[in-house]
Amino acid sequence: MPTEAAADVLAPMLEALLGDRMPVRVEFWDGSGLGPLDSPGTLSVHTPDAVRRMLWAPGELGVARAFVSEEITVDGDIFGLLRALRDASARQLGQIDFRSLAGVALAARRLGVIGRAPEPPPEECKPAGRLHSIGRDAEVISHHYDVGNDFYSLVLGPSWTYSCARFVTPEYTLEQAQAAKYELICRKLGLHEQESPRLLDVGCGWGSMAMHAAQHHGATAVGVALSREQVARARERVRAAGLEDRVEIRMQDYRDLGGEQFDAISSIGMFEHVGRDKMTRYFETLRGLLRPQGRLLNHAISTPGGSTPGSRSFIGRYVFPDGDLLDVGDVVLAMQAGGFEVRDVESLREHYAQTLKCWVANLESQWDEAVALVGRPRANIWRLYMAASALGFEDGGLGLHQVLGVATDDKGRSGMAPTRQGWD
């Protein structure tokens, strides 16, 4: 059995990954530790199996598996801990070079943990089938959204909204900010200018956008989604609000809507699942569903230059398999190629950082209930990904853009007002 302290054995490996000065406190299963005692948070490594995972799955995947299996846990201020790790690392978290890989192998040998690879956690998702086929998209949507409506109610609060809010003033509650986001979208779509407009909400979630449009603008709305649990709860909410004659929620892929016509289409937090190679076709499909002078509002996460989380990343295996984050410039080009005239682009980046912090606060304040609903590993996954995403929106690595397009008529008329007046 090894007699060396785990901290001494693992120090060279951690220095290769994070630099010579440890930015946070790391404590190990044998009571040894590294890093400052006044760290904003602590990484606790509970078993040498965490090292074995990193040996068999170098880079981010091994660390992710150890985290999900609770062989590594995060305690304290998760935002402060992640900031410290980000600021200290000279290269992107999760990347690994020969020096650090060799360090993992040497540490594993000295700790006596070289052996067969541990089984991946059951929360891991490796979808089958052709990328972004209807069946595979349904599988990955279910992986993320069908984890229990009660859990999402706890995290999201009464607004039942899983997308960026709009904090018009710092005093806005999360619920007020979500309502403000929906109202802004309705006005960009011109619903307030029409008599009983027909709205399609693509990826409707729990029905909040469709319900807002019906309640505040007299719209008749169709919401489509692929999550069984979302659709079931959305229908319950529509019935409870007395909106069954104006709001229809369907378990349906947007690609199966052929032949219907709408005055406006909203797509809020769904575009990330479409895929880079499918985005022009996506816009062509939605363009075909709009009457002349109808509008589309595409509300989606973006990133400069575009980014696709790899299949061996934490996000790719445990959060959003097959997700694509696109450069807003590419989104505009694809929307134009799909037949739209782009009329407005707005960034809500800082608003998403605030939204995510509200969700993390909701989760942390009801932690025991969340764990009882979905288990500690999945609760940990949501806490980590939401906190890390909040920092990404703070520092500009992630963005959130609303892009408004119009389907001009055969004479090139848009029907748009000459200014943005009336949107706020």
Convert the pLDDT of each residue in 80-137 to its tens digit.
999 988 887 644 344 445 555 666 777 778 887 777 878 988 888 888 888 778 888 8
Q: Which of 320, 365, 361, 382 is nearest to 148 (CA)?
A: 382
R_g of the chain, CA atoms, integer Å: 23
Range of the structural domain that residue 198 is part of: 134-406
DSSP class of residue 201 equals E
Domain boundary residue among 111, 142, 175? 111
Q: Please, which residues bridge with residue 402 across strands?
A: 299, 346
E strand segments, 156-270: 198-202, 220-225, 247-251, 262-268
With respect to residue 209, please indicate whether it lies within any of the assigned structural domains.
Answer: yes
Tracing tokens 């999760």 back to the chain, one arrives at 94
**Same structural domain, 199 and 153:** yes
Mean pLDDT, residues 262-279 taken together: 94
Q: Convert the pLDDT of each residue in 126-167 to its tens digit.
A: 888 887 788 888 888 787 777 889 999 999 999 999 999 999
**Same structural domain, 281 and 387:** yes
With respect to residue 119, please indicate whether it lies within any of the assigned structural domains.
Answer: no
**Same structural domain, 187 and 305:** yes
Tracing tokens 């590294």 back to the chain, one arrives at 34
**Same structural domain, 46 and 195:** no
In this prediction, residue 366 has a pLDDT band, given cuts at 50, 70 and 90, of: very high
CA dihedral over 239, 240, 246, 248, signed as positive or negative:
negative
Mean pLDDT, residues 165-176 taken together: 97
**Same structural domain, 101 and 243:** no
Q: Convert the pLDDT of each residue in 296-334 to its tens digit.
A: 999 999 999 998 777 788 888 888 777 789 999 999 999
Q: Are 104 and 51 in contact (CB under 8 A)?
A: yes
What CATH number does the domain containing 152 carry? 3.40.50.150
Look at 23-32, 109-118, 206-215, 329-338 and tell me which has the smallest mean pLDDT.
109-118
With respect to residue 18, please indicate whether it lies within any of the assigned structural domains.
Answer: yes
Total structural domains in the chain?
2
**Same structural domain, 26 and 170:** no
Neighbour count for residue 130 (Cβ, 10 Å): 8
**Same structural domain, 63 and 139:** no
Q: Which two tokens stand for residue 96?
A: 């690994």
**Same structural domain, 205 and 317:** yes
Choose between 203 and 146: higher pLDDT: 203
Q: Which two tokens stand for residue 324?
A: 């694509």
**Same structural domain, 96 and 236:** no
DSSP class of residue 199 equals E
Q: Three-state SS for 377?
A: helix
Choose between 274 and 18: higher pLDDT: 274
Alpha-carbon distance values, 187 to 262, 352, 359 (Å): 16, 20, 26
**Same structural domain, 143 and 286:** yes
**Same structural domain, 53 and 186:** no
Q: Which two tokens stand for residue 274?
A: 């479409």
With respect to residue 247, please indicate whether it lies within any of the assigned structural domains.
Answer: yes
Domain boundary residue among 63, 80, 111? 111
175, burial (CB in 10 Å: exposed 0-12, middle 13-18, buried 19+) = middle
**Same structural domain, 166 and 294:** yes
- Return the amino acid letter for 363: L
With respect to residue 376, please indicate whether it lies within any of the assigned structural domains.
Answer: yes
With respect to residue 233, please indicate whether it lies within any of the assigned structural domains.
Answer: yes
With respect to residue 412, please indicate whether it lies within any of the assigned structural domains.
Answer: no
Q: Are 420 and 307 in contact (CB under 8 A)?
A: no
Q: What angle do CA 116, 122, 128 make, to 5 degrees?
A: 100
With respect to residue 127, please indicate whether it lies within any of the assigned structural domains.
Answer: no
